[in-house]
Amino acid sequence: MTAPPLAQRPSKALLIGLVVSGVLALAVLAIMLFSGGPVGFGLSALLAVAPLPVLLAAVLSLDRLEPEPKLHLAFAFAWGAGVAIVAGIALTLVGQEFFVRAGYTSTAVENIGAVVLAPIVEEALKGSALLLLLRRRAEIDGLTDGIVYASMAGLGFAAVENVGYYLLAFGEDGAGAAVQLFVLRGLIDPLGHPIYTSMIGLGVAYALTRRNPARYAAIPFGYVGAVFLHGLWNGAATTGSLEWVGVAYLVIMAALVLLIVVTVVERRHLIARMAFYLPAYGQTGLVSDADVRMLTTLSARKAARKWARGAGLGQAMSDYQQAATELTMLHLRAERQGVEPRRFAMERDALLGAMARARRW
* Band of residue 358 on the pLDDT scale cut at 50, 70, 90: very high
Backbone region of residue 319 per phi and psi (left: phi > 0; alpha: psi in -120 to 50; beta: other values) = alpha
Compute the half-sphere exposure of residue 248: CA atoms within 13 Å on the CB side of its CA: 24
Residue 3 has pLDDT above 90, yes or no: no
Please tell me the predicted confidence (pLDDT) of residue 298: 84
Please state whether the predicted TM-score (pTM) of the whole model is above 0.85. yes
Q: Average pLDDT of 94-111?
A: 95
Q: What is the mean pLDDT of the chain?
A: 92
Please tell me the predicted confidence (pLDDT) of residue 240: 85
The 10s digit of each residue's pLDDT in 58-82 is 999 988 887 888 899 999 999 999 9
Residue 162 has pLDDT above 70, yes or no: yes
Cβ 127 vs Cβ 223: under 8 Å: yes
The 10s digit of each residue's pLDDT in 223-267 is 999 999 999 999 999 998 999 999 999 999 999 999 999 999 999
Domain boundaries, the chain: 14-239, 270-359
C-alpha closest to that of 126 among 71, 87, 168, 162: 87
Please tell me the predicted confidence (pLDDT) of residue 206: 93
The 10s digit of each residue's pLDDT in 288-346 is 999 999 999 889 999 999 999 999 999 999 999 999 999 999 998 888 877 889 999 99
Cβ 168 vs Cβ 178: under 8 Å: no
Residue 219 has pLDDT above 80, yes or no: yes
User: Can you tell me the distance from the alpha carbon of 159 to that of 80, in angstroms, rounded to the nearest whole number?
Assistant: 9
Please tell me the predicted confidence (pLDDT) of residue 4: 44
Cβ 327 vs Cβ 270: under 8 Å: no
User: Can you tell me the distance from the alpha carbon of 92 to that of 112, in angstroms, rounded to the nearest whole number?
Assistant: 10
Residue 27 has pLDDT above 70, yes or no: yes
DSSP 69: P
Which value, to the nearest 10 degrees, does the dihedral of the CA atoms of residues 302, 304, 306, 310 take?
Answer: -170
* Band of residue 13 on the pLDDT scale cut at 50, 70, 90: confident
Please tell me the predicted confidence (pLDDT) of residue 12: 82
